[in-house]
């Protein structure tokens, strides 16, 4: 894993700027910077959760509040130190997030935002109605944070603590996104079937991300409580949550630095508006809400990508012309990832026995049986609606079975989940390509090697995954060389033509070191030339000894590739045999060749 030089320079310059800034600021400026830092921590969590992970939360201020009240209560009632308060605040906030995430994250569509609104509303009501939390007056006399004998009492002292934590959170997020865990996070928007194909459970990943964002909010809440030395319910209400979301969106939800820019933008303009509005009207407070809502709507309409996307767009254009073509991946020289032992010739890899699948009254797959042996390429063909995709989904575990048995390497996988089957060595591609368009070609392939690594959120975020990450990227690069795409490592996958995207998906599947590769209609939508390139690649893979099952509609495409064909029609197996036998068969000609002219 290589940290880019530009990022190092930007981070160091940023750190120097933060260190020196107080010399140029008055007391008011420092206080404002403290608020910005606290806001940026919360917004950073939202950039990860909403911007990258695609889950919108209106409940972040409530997490800030839980942490602030936890440390406030423990340090005032039990004389605990602020540091013990920090530990408790993180633990309790993370537990809340875990419980709420378990309940809400499985809900699709608008349920997640709605249920986080409910959580956001109820927490500030709870604070305001509990006697032990001081109801609407809140908790006062919270002790300051102490470092040894030094109590951090002044805004300037807090400034350094706050921005130290902001810097650490930024580093953590930066490393996290550039890791094995990060590739999975960045693939969340690609859907749960994509994640399952690389052995991950989308719900679990989203839950971890939700807890991570809540922990960032907890840091903010702890800082808030010990900076202001008192807490009351209103800074943690729904209104505050919306402000945090606004910060993330203003900065640009896809950019870590957007959290800083957005927090600064919102808080500085808020201050400005608070100064100006009373001059216009005596109802400044109400007007402020209206002005902010209007800004929010304008932003969503005209600048969805936020401020940072404008900065990035400029840069991308300049990079394309100068460096994009020169940039190459440099293999790290770490020992390569361990590979599965090759199978003995003649080992039975897949066996499908009398499988039936019904959709209501329709029998989509009707008592189909066939086998695939190590080193073979088998084609599963048939006209449209024959049941090929259904068969594909049964083998890969996407669909539950109704009758019959499927064995993989002798093990019964009939009732195993998609993830379990993927982990056993069945790699797949998709009929409709599932790549993340903005992810680089190299990262897209590295995602396929996901199951060969183990670094999780914490190890990745702390940068302790370097050796493993290097081995994964080396493996991805090796697969790119294998398919002839080296030289495009840093091109966004979405920029490739469809033919190359298909091939890229094959490379992603190969990166998992599969026993069996299953392709769903790989030739669909390809031009003649692209089909030839694909056929050449598949022949090469066969020569290397890979076992392949191709599910295909295009008969000409598979004829020259496969050892054996299984032909389906109306859900049933019509015939099985060599391409010559199948081509000569009268039933196939009737059902297929004659019928569709393919």
Q: Which does 385 bind (CB under 5 to 8 A by kind): ligand ADP, Mg ion, none?
A: ligand ADP
Q: Does 393 bind Mg ion (CB under 5 A)?
A: no
CB of 388 to ligand ADP, least distance (A): 3
Q: Taking a C-beta distance cutoff of 8 angstroms, is the pair 34, 227 a contact?
A: yes
Of 12-20, 104-112, 349-357, 387-395: span binding Mg ion (CB under 5 A): 387-395
Q: Of the ranges 92-100, 168-176, 374-382, 385-393, which one interacts with Mg ion (CB under 5 A)?
A: 385-393
**SS3 assignment for 539-582:** HHHHHCCCEEEEEECCHHHHHCCCCEEEEEECCEEEEEECHHHH
96-104, 194-202, 386-394, 437-445 -> range binding Mg ion (CB under 5 A): 386-394
Which phi and psi angles does 187 have, rounded to 5°?
-95, 0
* Pair of tokens at residue 33: 């910077």
Q: Which residues bind ligand ADP (CB under 6 A)?
A: 359, 362, 364, 382, 384-390
Q: By the 8 A CB rule, do 251 and 260 touch? A: yes
Q: How far is the CB of 551 from Mg ion (least distance, A)?
A: 7
Of residues 272 and 359, the one with the C-beta less far from ligand ADP: 359
Question: Least Å distance between CB 108 and ligand ADP?
Answer: 18
How large is the angle between the packed helices 5-20 and 155-177, nearest 10 degrees? 170
Stretch that binds Mg ion, among 69-77, 114-122, 383-391, 526-534 (CB under 5 A): 383-391
Residue nearest to Mg ion (CB): 389
- Residue whose CB is less far from ligand ADP, 80 or 524: 524
Using the CB atoms, write b or e for 367-382: b if 16+ within 10 Å: ebebbbbbbbbbbbbb
Whichever of 102 and 362 has its CB closer to ligand ADP, that residue is 362
| Inter-CA distances, 571 with 37, 124, 430, 558, 567, Å | 61, 58, 21, 20, 10
Is 411 or 598 the residue whose CB approaches ligand ADP more closely? 598
Min dist. Cβ of residue 597 to ligand ADP (A): 16
Residue 429 sits in the site that holds Mg ion (CB under 5 A): no
| Cβ contact 327:490 at 8 Å | yes
- Give the DSSP letter of residue 56: -
What sections of 281-387 are H helices per DSSP? 284-302, 306-322
* 3-state percent breakdown (helix, strand, coil) of the chain, nearest 5: 60, 10, 30
Does 389 participate in binding Mg ion (rule CB under 5 A)?
A: yes
Q: Which residue's entry shows tokens 């750190």?
A: 15
**Strands of the 564-569 sheet, one edge to the other:** 426-428, 516-520, 547-552, 377-381, 564-569, 572-577
Residue closest to 170 by CA, chosen among 89, 263, 240: 263
Which of residues 70 and 389 has its CB atom nearest to Mg ion in the complex? Answer: 389
Output the smallest distance, CB 393 to ligand ADP, in A: 8
- Please report whether residue 569 would count as binding Mg ion according to CB under 5 A: no
Q: Does 396 help bind Mg ion (rule: CB under 5 A)?
A: no
User: What does 428 interact with, of ligand ADP, Mg ion, none (CB < 5 to 8 A by kind)?
Assistant: none
d(CA 71, CA 54): 31
- Number of shown-chain residues binding Mg ion (CB under 5 A): 1
Task: Name the binder of 310 from Mg ion, ligand ADP, none, CB < 5-8 A by kind.
Answer: none
User: How far apart are CB 565 and ligand ADP at their closest, in Å?
Assistant: 14
Binding part of the chain for Mg ion, among 389-397, 485-493, 532-540, 560-568 by CB under 5 A, reads: 389-397
> Which is nearer to Mg ion, 212 or 389 (by Cβ)?
389
Rounded to a whole number of angstroms, the minimum distance from the CB of residue 418 to Mg ion is 17
Q: Which residue ranges make up the site for Mg ion (CB under 5 A)?
A: 389
């Amino acid at each position: 894993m290589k940290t880019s030089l530009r990022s190092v320079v930007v981070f160091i310059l940023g750190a120097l700027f933060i260190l020196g800034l107080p010399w140029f600021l008055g007391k008011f400026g420092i206080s404002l910077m403290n608020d910005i830092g606290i806001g940026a921590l919360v917004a950073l969590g939202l950039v990860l959760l909403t911007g990258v992970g695609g889950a919108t939360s209106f409940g972040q201020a409530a997490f800030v509040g839980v942490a602030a009240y936890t440390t406030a209560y423990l340090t005032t009632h039990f004389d605990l130190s602020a540091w013990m308060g920090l530990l408790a605040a993180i633990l309790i906030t993370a537990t809340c997030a875990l419980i709420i995430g378990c309940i809400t994250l499985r809900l699709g569509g608008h349920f997640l935002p709605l249920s986080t609104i409910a959580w956001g509303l109820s927490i500030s009501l709870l604070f305001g109605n509990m006697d032990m939390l001081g109801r609407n007056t809140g908790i006062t006399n919270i002790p300051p944070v102490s470092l040894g004998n030094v109590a951090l009492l002044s805004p300037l002292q807090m400034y350094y603590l706050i921005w130290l934590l902001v810097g650490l959170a930024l580093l953590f997020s930066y490393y996290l996104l550039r890791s094995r865990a990060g590739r999975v996070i960045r693939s969340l928007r690609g859907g749960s079937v994509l994640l399952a194909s690389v052995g991950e459970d989308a719900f679990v990943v989203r839950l971890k991300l939700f807890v991570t964002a809540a922990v960032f909010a907890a840091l903010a809440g702890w800082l808030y409580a010990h900076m202001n030395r008192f807490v009351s319910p209103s800074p943690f209400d729904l209104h505050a949550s919306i402000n945090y979301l606004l910060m993330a969106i203003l900065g640009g939800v896809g950019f870590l630095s957007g959290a800083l820019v957005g927090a600064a933008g919102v808080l500085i303009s808020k201050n400005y508006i608070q100064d100006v509005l009373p001059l216009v009207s005596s109802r400044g407070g109400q007007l402020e809400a209206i002005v902010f809502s209007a800004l929010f709507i304008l932003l969503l309409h005209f600048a969805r990508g936020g401020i940072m996307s404008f900065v990035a767009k400029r840069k991308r254009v300049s990079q394309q012309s100068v460096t994009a073509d020169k940039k190459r991946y440099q293999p790290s020289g770490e020992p390569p990832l361990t590979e599965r032992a090759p199978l003995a010739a003649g080992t039975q890899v897949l066996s499908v026995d009398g499988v039936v699948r019904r959709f209501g009254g329709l029998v989509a797959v009707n008592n189909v049986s066939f086998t695939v042996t190590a080193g073979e390429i088998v084609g599963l063909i048939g006209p449209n609606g024959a049941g090929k995709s259904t068969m594909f989904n049964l083998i890969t575990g996407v669909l539950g079975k109704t009758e019959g048995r499927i064995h993989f390497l002798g093990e019964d996988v009939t009732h195993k989940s998609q993830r379990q089957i993927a982990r056993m060595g069945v790699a797949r591609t998709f009929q409709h390509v599932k790549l993340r368009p903005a992810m680089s070609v190299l990262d897209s392939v590295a995602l396929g090697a996901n199951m060969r690594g183990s670094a999780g959120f914490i190890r990745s975020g702390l940068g302790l995954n370097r050796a493993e990450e290097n081995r994964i990227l080396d493996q991805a690069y090796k697969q790119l060389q294998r398919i002839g795409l080296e030289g495009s490592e840093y091109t966004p996958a979405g920029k490739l033509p469809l033919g190359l995207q298909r091939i890229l998906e094959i490379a992603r599947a190969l990166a998992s070191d599969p026993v069996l590769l299953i392709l769903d209609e790989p030739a669909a939508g390809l031009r003649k030339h692209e089909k030839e390139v694909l056929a050449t690649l598949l022949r090469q893979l066969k020569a290397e000894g890979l076992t392949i099952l191709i599910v295909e509609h295009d008969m000409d495409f598979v004829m020259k590739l496969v050892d054996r064909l299984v032909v389906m029609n109306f859900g049933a197996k019509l015939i099985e045999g060599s391409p010559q036998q199948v081509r000569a068969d009268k039933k196939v000609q009737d059902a297929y060749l004659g019928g569709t002219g393919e």
